[in-house]
Chains A and B, each alone.
Chain A
Amino acid sequence: EDQVTQSPEALRLQEGESSSLNCSYTVSGLRGLFWYRQDPGKGPEFLFTLYSAGEEKEKERLKATLTKKESFLHITAPKPEDSATYLCAVQTTQGGSEKLVFGKGTKLTVNP
C-alpha cells in the first residue's frame, strides 16, 4: 500500500531560525512529488512539483529536494507569514489511473 509519512507533525521556530521538513514515501511507482501549503480555513495551495531524484526547486525562502525515498522542504530564515501546514503528496499509478496520496502534514509556527 502506498504510504506518505511527514515529520515532524508540528514545528515551532523563531523568526530567522532555518529548518527542514521531511516527507518519506513508499509507493509502487512514483510519477511526481508535490508540496502544498495550507492556511487555516483554506484549501491547499500548490508550491512545487519534483519528478526525479536529485531535483531541486526554490521559491523565496523555500527549497524542495527529492531523493529516491524522501523529500525535504528547507525553510531559510523563516518569517511569521510562513506559518502554515505544509502537505506533501505523491503521484502514483495504480490500475492504470493516476492517484495523488497526501501525508498528514507538518504544522509550522514561526514566532516573531
Chain B
Amino acid sequence: EAGVAQSPRYKIIEKRQSVAFWCNPISGHATLYWYQQILGQGPKLLIQFQNNGVVDDSQLPKDRFSAERLKGVDSTLKIQPAKLEDSAVYLCASSWDRNSPLHFGNGTRLTVT
C-alpha cells in the first residue's frame, strides 16, 4: 500500500511569513494527525482528525496555526505568521481508527530565519 505522502520536504521562510504543508494519508484511514517534532525531541501532537471532524486540537497554537481536512482525505496545516520557535519537522500520520498504530509520512522540515 502507498504510504503517507507529505509535501514539501523542506521549506525555509523568514519570521512573520506564512507557510502551508500538505498531507495525503493512506487510503481508507479515517484518523489523521499532525505532529511537530523539534530536533532531539519526540513528536508532539498538534491536531487529530476523525474523518472531517477535529478530535483533539488542545496543543495547537490557534493564534497562528490552523488545519483542515477536506472531504475526510487530504489535509493542510498552515502557520501564519511563523516564529523562530516553529522551526521543526512537521509530521503527518494516519491510522484506520484511533486505536490502531500510526503510519507516518517523512515530514516537512521547516526552518524559520
Select which of A31, A41, A100, A104 is within 8 A of B102 by beta carbon: A100
Interface of B is mostly: loop
CB of B55 within 8 A of chain A?
A: yes
A25 interface residue, CB < 8 Å from B?
A: no
Chain B stretch 72-110: residues in CB contact (< 8 A) with chain A: 91, 93, 98-99, 101-107
Q: Cβ of A72 < 8 Å from any Cβ of B?
A: no
Query: In the complex, what's the smallest C-beta–C-beta distance from A34 to chain B, in angstroms?
Result: 6
A40 to B45 CA separation, bound complex (whole angstroms) = 20
Known: A43-B93, A104-B40. A99 touches B45 (CB 8 A): yes
CB within 8 Å of A: which B29-47 residues: 33, 40-45
B56 at the interface (CB under 8 A from A): yes
Task: Give, as a whole number of angstroms, the nearest-CB distance from B30 to chain A.
Answer: 13
- Assess A43 versus B104: contact at CB under 8 Å? Given A32-B99, A102-B42, A103-B42: yes
CB-based contact B101/A43 at 8 Å: no
- Closest B residue to A51 by CB, please name it: B99
Minimal Cβ-Cβ distance residue in A for B104: A43
Q: Decide if B99 touches A43 in the complex (CB within 8 Å).
A: no
**Interface contact A104-B41, CB-CB below 8 Å:** yes
Q: Which residues of B contact A21 (CB under 8 A)?
A: none
| Residue A59 is within 8 A (CB to CB) of chain B in the complex | no
A102 touches B43 (CB 8 A): yes
CB distance from A31 to the nearest CB of B (A): 7
Please judge, given known A-B contacts A32-B99, A97-B56, A98-B98, whether A44 and B104 are in contact too, CB under 8 Å: yes
Choose among A44, A45, A98 the residue that contacts B43 (Cβ–Cβ < 8 A).
A44
A31:B42 contact, CB within 8 angstroms: no
Contact A46 B99 (CB under 8 A): no
For the A-B complex with A43-B4, A91-B99, A104-B41 known, give 8 more contacts whose Cβ atoms are closer than 8 Å: A4-B42, A32-B99, A44-B102, A87-B43, A89-B42, A102-B42, A104-B42, A105-B42
Residues of A near any B CB (own CB < 8 A)? 4, 31-32, 34, 36, 41-46, 49, 87, 89, 91, 97-100, 102-105
